[in-house]
Structure 1
Amino acid sequence: MFKYFAVCFFAVVAVASAKPGIVAPLAYTAPAVVGSAAYVAPYASSYTAHQIAHSAAFPAAYTAPVAAAYTAPLAAAYTAPVAAAYTAPVAAAYTRYAAAAPLAYSAPFAAPYLARPYAAAPLLLKK
């Protein structure tokens, strides 16, 4: 009997997720939470007071912007030269292959279209 209910349940889930109008709006409307820790409730606690039984990850959502304001300039001062030291030789190796004018070869094809002014374009609207 359990198998029958499980098969029926997953069949309903499959039908609901196959229709784009039901699940798609729910999947893409949630705001992205970046840089904050999720609330972790204590799962084994013998305290009766709510002030004592708390999780240490919960205040991270409030302290992260304040901490980032002070640590970001300091971290950028130390990491920017290191990143530039590793990326500059690679970027220099590939810039010599870059064309000076990448659209130079398309000039004969684009010239007739660019020379004609847009005011002379035929209007398809009736007056």
Structure 2
Amino acid sequence: MTFASALPLALCLSLLPVVAGACHSKEQPAVSQSRVPEPSGDIEAAIGLWAFTPADGSKGCVLALNRQPLPHGYGLHIEHCALASLAAATHWRPTAQGFGIANEADSVILEFRQTGVDTFVAVDGSLRVERAPST
């Protein structure tokens, strides 16, 4: 083997630890897998327009949960609300089972767990939440 032919081999062998380290680095982003969102606190499962209906069937609210970042969660917009329990709602945030609605003091008003692809229920059983039709 001549010096000229040994140089590329030596160069490749000297770079091997660097390349191998980059492949096993903990800083590499995880590969995203497309799947139906499960009750995992995934923000996308909760984004959108929702109808909040009391368990007794009385008049409820329509809330829009959005991606607008706020200091303690994400923005929301209340429309047509007849529920005193949600009057103080200022933001929402994902939880392990679904999402929580909080007030200006960042106290959780109500917490919801996901029961289906487009359905949630209040942990205390007081409200059902389903996708609302766009108006």
User: Taking structure 1 as the reference length, what is the TM-score of the superposition?
Assistant: 0.18
Question: Which structure features the higher share of helix residues?
Answer: 1
User: Taking structure 2 as the reference length, what is the TM-score of the superposition?
Assistant: 0.17
Which of the pair has the greater relative contact order for Cα pairs under 8 Å at 6+ separation? 2
Larger Rg: 1
